[in-house]
Structure 1
Amino acid sequence: MNMRVKRMTGILIGFLTILLLGDPRFQSSLADKILPASRSLAAGASTIAGCLAPAKARTAFPGSSEYQSARTVFNLRYKYAPAAFVFPTTVAQVQNAVGCAEQLGIGISPRGGGHSYEDYSLGRGRDGVIVVDMTGFTDISYNKAAGTVTVGSGFRLGPLKLALWNLGKVTVPCGVCPSVGVGGHALGGGWGFVSRKFGILSDSIVEAQVVIANGTTVRANAIENVNLLWSLKGAGANSYGIVSQFTFKVHDVSATMTHFSYTFLKSQQAQTVKAFQIWGQVAVAEVTTSLYLDPSGGNNFYGIYMGPSANLNAVLKAFMDNVPAPSNQTVIETDYITTVLIDGGFSQNADPSVLNLHSFTYPTATFKAKSIIVKAPGFSGDGIKTFVNSLQAGPATSYFIFDLFGGSASVINQIAPGDSAWVHRDALFSIQMFTYWQNNPSQSSSDITFIDNLWSAVRPYASSEAYQNYIDQDMPLSAYYGSNLNRLISEKKIWDSNNVFNFPQSIPVR
């Protein structure tokens, strides 16, 4: 089990406003987003129920046991109170929910896996919204001749990877956590352990079926609504509509693969960071890796090589030449679905059917997360020293994961920043910064201060960008969308001029 999953399993399953408020353009957009929240309080349950009733979707309202169960959240730091949950199984039912939100002036939030780091999928930063739970959308159709798969947006990554493996030993490039929903993951990027070879998940979107603000359904592809597709590929999480269906390009993963993990000492953390970024610039596309570090001494380099283990030493040479001998190592030559099991926190000998999550405990935690994008050639010597010293002074209940995005061979970086909404095309790696405090609320203030201070300390050595799938309410929109932001705002005016789809960090209409 790699350190990312080991730590997340332990945490989860047992588990500034800087530029945003300083820019008048975003001050006005925030006002747009606050007003619907207050209006929603005026719409009673009976009014909402009456509006939703004609579609005959299953619903849950405050006071019912189903409502309380549906309020299960990923980040226990928040506990938003929706006005209602809707569980559609047809596009017409989604259209009805959108129409009711527009008619009653209520916020609306689609939910797939419910893994939003700020729990925007539960309340979009406020109480009183209609949550449209898309988990009923799990149809799948594989077109072998076209090399595509069409899937409902309610799929989670584990079941999706297993289904694709069984259909033809193919996959889509996406993350390791099996319970993450494909919808939000794809619309915010979607990095995983075959991404340097195949791109991020949003790069594989061929078509999306979208319920837009006027309650109609449109298709966005290379011929129809091209600009909407552009926006969805990196900025589509509840800013332009509710995606009910994706068509993805699939990728062959039938060949032998090698899963590897190398452990180093706490005293060697600075050396592994330096080696990681030197090697990352020249690594072949067939390898994608992460580096896990924590204040207690965690120091683990791991990933997948799309090839036989006999070639691994040559593939990792530029890394190993710059670090001491590892204190422990595991190299497993196997097939793709076994690497999915390992990275998903399961035994490599487990029956792959566990990826269907029938007996899976969905993760929760109480945490604060941030991220930062680091560009080539990586941190300077002072930057590495600052990062490691700051990290080692932190609480044991925190960790940091460097995910390798770039390098000269990476497919991710061979796409121009303006070719899709996902702008981070010159990233070398992203750092996920995570601190949690379980059942000790008194620890929250110091932990949040620690993670904020560490981010600020390394910012001079990195970039102003951050990864939108690790959403952080303290970050300005420019960190997530960069030079694409103005175009995204223009598209928002076209598709949702009344700002029906909104939350504190959605694309504004002005």
Structure 2
Amino acid sequence: MEVINSVMCGWILFMGFLLHVSFAHQSVADQVPFSPKTRKLAGATDLAGCLVAAKSRVAFPGSPEYQSARTVFNRRFPYSPAAFVFPTTVPQVQNAVVCAVQLRIGISPRSGGHSYEDYSLGGRDGVLVVDLAGFKQIEYNRKAGTVKVGSGVRLGPLKLALWNLGKVTVPAGNCPTVGVGGHALGGGWGFTSRKFGMLSDIIIEVEVVTSTGGVVTANAKKNADLYWAMRGAGANSFGIVTQFTFRVHDVSAPVTHFSFSFQKSQQFQTIKAYQIWGLAAGAETSASLYLDPSGGNNFYGTFLGPSSNLNGVLSIFFANSPAPSNQAVLETDYIHTVLIDGGLSQDANPSVLNLDNYTYPTSLFKAKSIIVKAPGFSDAGIQTFVNTMQAGQVTSYFIFDLFGGSASIVNTIASGATAWVHRNSLFNIQMLSYWQFNLDQANADIAFMGKIWNAVLPFASLEAYQNYIDRDMPLSAYYGSNLNRLITIKKSWDPTNVFNFPQSIPVN
């Protein structure tokens, strides 16, 4: 059995390299009024009686399946859902929504379940969780250059299927166990994003179950306001997406994976070199810089080209950086870089990406993020980060993900073109700290995350990446100048706030 056992798949890399039922589309006026202030938890019998019409598989508290389904990504939040429903058809999802509205129960879709704040369980007790793992369709249209993907598909199986079907891919994250649903709806950055865009950028169409229990299609010409909102702010604020249509991109040519390690004393220098290089780096290269308090200092990424061109691609970086203490350069095919970046062996059979037998990654952690815009940190900002980090918790780590630079397609798209607003970033810093059942350490780690975020804020921006959701952040950090438009669209599509969680788009 292949074990994928990390909260972030990169952690491995660095620690060792759901009776068919149909519903008419209800009008908003016909909806059952729904307000958090009047919500009451229905008894299991009422909910079971409502859900039975669709013949969905359901798990209620007290059953072994319920306990298994409660496995959470971040064990800080052991929420107790009212029930889990496992649909395999769109009418079954519709039934779940109608039941939740009629019984005034919160509802939350779960795709991969990797929400950092466990909003996949609703972010509170008593929610009906709609587990979308049964939506596993992957339908590649070679002629159109598109793929239809069920919202329960995970990134590993998706990338492997597209590779086998046509040596194509979608720009998506590195962790194979992440679900496409939440990932795409919140942006979806990965190691081909600077060339092909965020995953949300290549969404052509979504199929959505709305708060009325109806089903709509949203694209550039039909329900365009909903389509706009779904691309960056769609995670359980407007409806439940059951299917995506993405544009795909060719990755049949050789690809080069690289990794260079440096000393702890060189962390300042590598950050500075990374910034200078990132500003001018070609779109064919995506990269990250990993740092930790104990001395971790690793520059790594993927170049969509042969290794013979890598020296030229990285020349600006090495003109400003110290000499690496260790390095690894591998020219291979795209699917093997997916293995490497997913924390798996480059020698593994790619079939492992199907995740037929895997251990769901869970941990106890606190995460934050902050977006740094061009030209990057000042020298004072770099030094502040390094000093604060090196004096902090050794159970933490930091990943500078290169989003922008002058060649990045991510930054060529206007900030109002989609709900994903972060179009003038240079990089995003993902900040994480882990502990194991030690309250003193937990308190110290959480405090440290707040301390270092506040320390670098004067040198960064007030923006953060919504896929690294943090309960402490205001919505403005995730949606910026797009927030007011998102609220207007929320009022139109979900005026009674059926779809909500602690940091969902509000109705006012």
- TM bucket (normalised to shorter chain) is over 0.9
Q: Secondary structure at the residue paired with 1:439?
A: coil
CA contact (8 A) 2:10 2:342 kept: no
Q: Secondary structure at the residue paired with 1:501?
A: coil
Residue 37 of structure 2 aligns with an amino acid whose one-letter code is L
- 1:161 aligned to 2:159? yes
Aligned counterparts, 1:490-509, within 5 A: 490-509=488-507
Residue 264 (structure 1) aligns with:
262
Tell me how far 1:222 sits from its aligned partner: 1.5
Residue 15 (structure 1) aligns with:
none
Residue 78 (structure 2) aligns with:
79
- Distance in 2, matches of 1:148 and 1:312, equals 30
| Number of residue pairs aligned between Structure 1 and Structure 2 | 486
Residue 130 (structure 1) aligns with:
128
Cα 1:260–1:3, aligned 2, differ >3 Å: closer, same or farther? farther
Q: Secondary structure at the residue paired with 1:271?
A: helix
Residue 180 (structure 2) aligns with:
182
Tell me how far 1:6 sits from its aligned partner: 5.1
Residue 23 (structure 2) aligns with:
none
- Distance in 2, matches of 1:341 and 1:355, equals 8
Identical aligned pairs, as a percentage? 70
- Distance in 2, matches of 1:305 and 1:384, equals 26
Ranges of 4+ aligned residues in structure 1 off by more than 4 Å: 1-4, 8-11
Residue 14 (structure 1) aligns with:
none
CA contact (8 A) 1:373 1:429 kept: yes
Tell me how far 1:441 sits from its aligned partner: 2.6
Q: Secondary structure at the residue paired with 2:280?
A: coil
Tell me how far 1:7 sits from its aligned partner: 2.1
Residue 119 of structure 2 aligns with an amino acid whose one-letter code is Y
Residue 319 (structure 1) aligns with:
317
- 1:140 aligned to 2:138? yes
Residue 472 of structure 1 aligns with an amino acid whose one-letter code is D
Tell me how far 1:40 sits from its aligned partner: 3.8
Tell me how far 1:296 sits from its aligned partner: 0.6
Tell me how far 1:346 sits from its aligned partner: 1.2
2:11 counterpart (7, 12, 36): 7
Tell me how far 1:9 sits from its aligned partner: 6.8
- Distance in 2, matches of 1:53 and 1:270, equals 60
Residue 205 (structure 1) aligns with:
203
Residue 66 (structure 2) aligns with:
67
- Distance in 2, matches of 1:201 and 1:300, equals 25
Residue 237 (structure 1) aligns with:
235
Residue 419 of structure 1 aligns with an amino acid whose one-letter code is A
Residue 309 of structure 1 aligns with an amino acid whose one-letter code is S
Q: Secondary structure at the residue paired with 1:106?
A: coil
Q: Which has the higher helix share?
A: 1
- Distance in 2, matches of 1:58 and 1:7, equals 35
Per-residue deviation, residues 157-182 of structure 1 (Å, max 9, x unmatched): 00000000011000000000000000
Residue 415 (structure 1) aligns with:
413
Residue 35 of structure 1 aligns with an amino acid whose one-letter code is K
Aligned counterparts, 1:29-44, within 5 A: 34-35=36-37, 39-41=39-41, 43-44=42-43
Residue 346 (structure 1) aligns with:
344
- 1:93 aligned to 2:92? yes
Structure 2's unaligned 5+ residue stretches are 16-33
CA contact (8 A) 1:33 1:503 kept: no
CA contact (8 A) 2:403 2:410 kept: yes
- 1:250 aligned to 2:248? yes
Per-residue deviation, residues 333-367 of structure 1 (Å, max 9, x unmatched): 00000000111111111111000011211100100
Q: Secondary structure at the residue paired with 1:455?
A: helix
Tell me how far 1:482 sits from its aligned partner: 0.2
- 1:290 aligned to 2:294? no
- 1:104 aligned to 2:108? no
Per-residue deviation, residues 202-223 of structure 1 (Å, max 9, x unmatched): 0010000000000000000111
Cα 1:40–1:179, aligned 2, differ >3 Å: closer, same or farther? farther
- Distance in 2, matches of 1:370 and 1:398, equals 11
CA contact (8 A) 1:108 1:130 kept: yes
Deviates more, 1:465-474 or 1:441-450: 441-450
Structure 1's unaligned 5+ residue stretches are 12-31
Cα 1:452–1:34, aligned 2, differ >3 Å: closer, same or farther? farther
Residue 395 (structure 1) aligns with:
393
CA contact (8 A) 2:228 2:419 kept: yes
Tell me how far 1:442 sits from its aligned partner: 2.3
- 1:357 aligned to 2:355? yes
- Distance in 2, matches of 1:5 and 1:326, equals 24
Q: Secondary structure at the residue paired with 2:148?
A: strand
Aligned counterparts, 1:273-284, within 5 A: 273-284=271-282
Per-residue deviation, residues 58-113 of structure 1 (Å, max 9, x unmatched): 00000000000000000011100000000000000000000011111110000011
Residue 464 (structure 2) aligns with:
466
Residue 25 (structure 2) aligns with:
none
- Distance in 1, matches of 2:280 and 2:497, equals 44
Cα 1:53–1:10, aligned 2, differ >3 Å: closer, same or farther? farther
Residue 225 (structure 2) aligns with:
227
Per-residue deviation, residues 245-304 of structure 1 (Å, max 9, x unmatched): 000000000000000000000000011111111110000000000000000100000000
Q: Secondary structure at the residue paired with 1:418?
A: coil
Residue 328 (structure 1) aligns with:
326
Q: CA RMSD in A?
A: 1.5
1:446 counterpart (444, 447, 468): 444
Q: Secondary structure at the residue paired with 2:329?
A: strand
CA contact (8 A) 1:374 1:428 kept: yes
Q: Secondary structure at the residue paired with 1:465?
A: coil
CA contact (8 A) 1:186 1:202 kept: yes
Cα 1:33–1:375, aligned 2, differ >3 Å: closer, same or farther? farther
- Distance in 2, matches of 1:120 and 1:49, equals 23
2:428 counterpart (423, 427, 430): 430
- Distance in 2, matches of 1:6 and 1:112, equals 20
CA contact (8 A) 1:40 1:107 kept: no
Q: Secondary structure at the residue paired with 2:126?
A: coil
- Distance in 2, matches of 1:439 and 1:63, equals 25
Residue 58 of structure 2 aligns with an amino acid whose one-letter code is T
Tell me how far 1:395 sits from its aligned partner: 1.2
- Distance in 1, matches of 2:398 and 2:362, equals 18
- Distance in 2, matches of 1:70 and 1:3, equals 17
Residue 182 of structure 1 aligns with an amino acid whose one-letter code is V
- Distance in 2, matches of 1:10 and 1:267, equals 18
Per-residue deviation, residues 181-232 of structure 1 (Å, max 9, x unmatched): 0000000000000000000100010000000000000000111101100000
